[in-house]
Amino acid sequence: MQDKFKYILQIILLAGVYFVAAKFGLSLAFGVKQVTLVWPPTGIAIAALLLFDKKLWPGILLGAFFANITTNETFTTASQIAIGNTLEALTAWYFLNKLKFDKEFHHIEDIAKFIVWGAIVPTIVSATIGTLTLAFSGTIGWQVFHSTWLTWWLGDTTGAILFAPLILSFKDIKVFPFSFKKMFEFIALIASTSFTSILIFTGYISPTFSIYPTKYIVFPFMIWAALSFGVPGATWISLLISVISILGFKAGSGPFANLGNPEIGLTLLQLLMAVFSVTSTILAAALDERKRSEGKFKESETRFRALIENSYEAIILVDAKGTIVYTSPSVKRILGFTSAELENTNGFNLIHKDDKIRLAKILAELIVKPGKTVQVENKIVKKDGEVRWMEAVGTNLLQEEGVGAIVINFRDITDHKKLDETKSEFVSLAAHELRSPISNIRWYTESLLKTKPSKYLNEIYSSTLKMTSLINTLLTVNKVELGKLTYEPEKVDLVTIVKDITQNIKIEKNLPEKLEAFADPNLLRIILENLINNAVKYSPGDKKISINVKEVKEKIHIEVKDFGIGIPKNQQDKIFTKLFRADNVKKTFPDGTGLGLYLVKAVVDKLKGEIWFESEENKGTTFFVDLPKKII
C-alpha cells in the first residue's frame, strides 16, 4: 500500500516537474510555438527514468500532455506529442541500460554512450512523432516539415545533453562544503562567465560587440569549470551560457541573430550549445578519470608502503646481480645496518662465508625462473659481527612491472634454532645414557637365555633389541637435524649387505652376483633396513615381499615390494614427514615412530640419490631408490 502511494506520488511529482520545465521550454519557442530552442524536459525525463526506474513513464506522459493541452492543442495532438516524448525517454533508458551506462559520468566512455544513445538517437523518436503530428493536424505546412523536425530534434538533443548530466551529477555537487577559497572561485567563475556571455550573446552591455562572431571566448570559462569543479561544474556553466545565449537570440541579439536567416541562426546556436556542453563535460570526465586513477595508484602505494614498513619481517629487494636496491625499515632492527649503508652494495656481503657458495647457486637457479619462490635457512653476519640464523623466502619478480627485483623476506630464527639444538642435545644425551643400561640388560638376558631358555626371557630379549634399534634411530635422526650425520665412504658390495640384512627374513631376492659401490655402508644399511622392515611389518599374513637390486646406467637401483596394506592415496604426500604415520596403520600396528622413512629420505638426500614409491591401499607398496654408484 505504502509502495503504491509512493509510486503515485513520484509520478505526480515527475509530471509536475516535467510540466514546469516544458512551460519554460515552450517559452523559448521560436517560430512554431510547439518547437523550442531547447527542451529541458527531455533531459529531466531521461534522468528521472535512469535515477528511479522506467516505471515512472506515466509521469512523463501526463506532464507532456498537460503542457501541450494548455498551449491550446487539441486532445489528439497533445496526446500524440506526449506519447512521442514518453517513448523518447523510454528508448534512451532502454539503450543506456543495455549498454551498462554508469550514470555517475565518471568515465569518458559513459559520456560518449550518453551522447549517442541517450541524446542523439532517442530524440529522433520524439521529433518524428511530434513533427508528423503537427503536419497531419495542419498546424504546420509540409514545406517546413524538415526544418521543424531538425529544430525539434536539436532542441530535444540539447535538452538531453544539458539537463540530464546536470541532474545525474547533482549529488556530486559539493559547492557548500567547499572551502572559502573554493566558494570564492565558484562565485568568480559564475560572475565572469555570466558577464562574458551577456557581452557576447546579448546586446545588453554593448550592442555593437555582440554582433561579431566572438562566441569562442566562453571556452576558457568552460575549461576552468571542468578543471576546478568537474562534471557538475562543467554542466552548470554550460547551462548558464546556454540560457543567456538563448535569451539573447530571442531578443534578437548575439552573433546568430543577425545572419539574415533566423532558422539557420537558430540551428547554429543549438549546435554550438551542444558542442560547448559535450566538450566541457568530456574534458571534466577525462580529468576526473585521471585524478581518480592517480588517487588509486597513490592509495595502493601507500598501502604497500605501510605494509612493508610496519612488517615485522625484513624485506630486501636485490637485482639479478645480487645488488641491494631496497631495504625495509625492519632490516635495521635485524641486521644493524641502515638502508643507506646497504643500498647499492652486494647482498652477498651479508651472508656468512659457510653459506655463500650454496646461496649463490640458489640465486643463479632462481634468476632464470620468473615468479618462482625458494625458501632457505642461512647464517648472516650482523653489523656488529654477530652471526645469526635467518629463514628467508626469495621470489623472482624481476620481470614484474614496477618491481623488477628479487624480493627476499626474512626473519631471525636464531633463538628458535638454539632451542632446537638444546632439544636435540638433550635427546642425544638421554639416548646415550640409555644405551649402556640397555646393553647390560641385553647382555644378561642373552647369558640367561643360554643357560635357562624361557618364553618370558625371550620377550625381554626381543624388547631390548627393539629398544636398542629405537635408540639408534633417535641418535641418527638427531645427527641429521644437527647436520652432524657423518659420511665415511668405502668400497662395499651392496649384495653382501642385502644378504646380511635379510638373513632371517622370508623375502624374494633378485640380486646380481655382485654390485660394488663406493659408499658409507652404515647409511646404505639405514635405507635398506627401514624399507625391508616396513615391507615385512605392513604385510600381515604370509604375503610375499621382494627386493630387487640392479645397476642401471651407472646407478644403483633398489626396489622393495610388498603386497600389504598400502598407503592411503590422500596421505601419500606426507609419507616422508617426521613422525607421520598413516591412518590405516595407527590402530593395527601401534608399534612405530614415524621416524624411519624420514630418516631414509634424509640419508638418500645426503647420498644425492632419489626415492619414490607407488602404493595402493590393500594391494601393496613398492619403494624405489636410485643412488649414484660412487658417492664421495
Q: Are 134 and 148 in contact (CB under 8 A)?
A: yes
Shorter beta-carbon distance to ligand ADP: residue 325 or 470: 470
Segment contacting ligand ADP by CB under 6 A, of 4-12, 140-148, 463-471, 532-540: 532-540
Segment contacting ligand ADP by CB under 6 A, of 31-39, 89-97, 437-445, 577-585: 577-585
Q: Are 338 and 316 in contact (CB under 8 A)?
A: no
Position 585 contacts ligand ADP (CB under 6 A): yes
Shorter beta-carbon distance to ligand ADP: residue 395 or 621: 621
Segment contacting ligand ADP by CB under 6 A, of 2-10, 113-121, 307-315, 578-586: 578-586
Position 575 contacts ligand ADP (CB under 6 A): yes
Shorter beta-carbon distance to ligand ADP: residue 355 or 614: 614
What single-letter DSSP state applies at residue 210? G
- Given candidates 42, 564, 603, 604, which one binds ligand ADP under the rule CB under 6 A? 564
Q: Which residue is nearest to ligand ADP (CB)?
A: 596
Position 624 contacts ligand ADP (CB under 6 A): no
Position 582 contacts ligand ADP (CB under 6 A): yes
Residues 6+ away with beta carbon under 8 Å from 619:
563, 566
Position 473 contacts ligand ADP (CB under 6 A): no
Position 547 contacts ligand ADP (CB under 6 A): no
Position 412 contacts ligand ADP (CB under 6 A): no
Binding mask 154-183 for ligand ADP (x = CB under 6 A): ------------------------------
Amino acid at 484: K
**Footprint of ligand ADP on residues 217-256 (CB under 6 A)?**
none
Shorter beta-carbon distance to ligand ADP: residue 378 or 530: 530
Cell numbers at 112, concatenated: 560518449
| Residue of 186, 557, 555 lying closest to 547 (CA atoms) | 557
- What is the distance between the alpha carbons of residues 249 and 151, in angstroms, rounded to a whole number? 15
DSSP 70-102: TTT--HHHHHHHHHHHHHHHHHHHHHHHHTT--
- Given candidates 562, 601, 603, 611, which one binds ligand ADP under the rule CB under 6 A? 562
Shorter beta-carbon distance to ligand ADP: residue 63 or 564: 564
Shorter beta-carbon distance to ligand ADP: residue 254 or 566: 566
Q: Are 270 and 38 in contact (CB under 8 A)?
A: yes
- Given candidates 131, 196, 238, 534, which one binds ligand ADP under the rule CB under 6 A? 534
As a dihedral over the C-alpha atoms of residue 296, residue 302, residue 303, residue 309, rounded to 10 degrees, the angle is 170
Report the nearest approach of ligand ADP to the CB of residue 434 (Å). Answer: 19
- What is the distance between the alpha carbons of residues 159 and 201, in angstroms, rounded to a whole number? 19
| Residue of 381, 385, 393, 397 lying closest to 347 (CA atoms) | 381
- Given candidates 549, 597, 604, 631, which one binds ligand ADP under the rule CB under 6 A? 597
Amino acid at 302: T
- Given candidates 7, 592, 614, 628, which one binds ligand ADP under the rule CB under 6 A? 592
- Given candidates 37, 161, 526, 567, which one binds ligand ADP under the rule CB under 6 A? 567
Position 480 contacts ligand ADP (CB under 6 A): no
Position 604 contacts ligand ADP (CB under 6 A): no
Position 524 contacts ligand ADP (CB under 6 A): no
Position 594 contacts ligand ADP (CB under 6 A): yes
Count how many Cα atoms sit within 13 Å of the Cα of residue 196 in the half-sphere of its side chain: 20
Q: Are 81 and 130 in contact (CB under 8 A)?
A: yes
Report how many residues bind ligand ADP under the rule CB under 6 A: 22
Position 545 contacts ligand ADP (CB under 6 A): no
Report the nearest approach of ligand ADP to the CB of residue 479 (Å). Answer: 17
Range 620-623 contact pairs with CB under 8 angstroms and sequence separation of 24 or more: 620/539, 620/543, 620/561, 620/562, 620/563, 620/564, 620/566, 621/535, 621/538, 621/561, 621/562, 621/564, 621/566, 621/567, 622/559, 622/560, 622/561, 622/562, 623/531, 623/534, 623/535, 623/558, 623/559, 623/560
Which helix (DSSP H) or strand (DSSP E) does residue 545 occupy? strand 545-552
Which residues of this chain interact with ligand ADP, rule CB under 6 A?
A: 530, 534-535, 538, 562, 564-567, 575, 580-582, 585, 592-598, 621
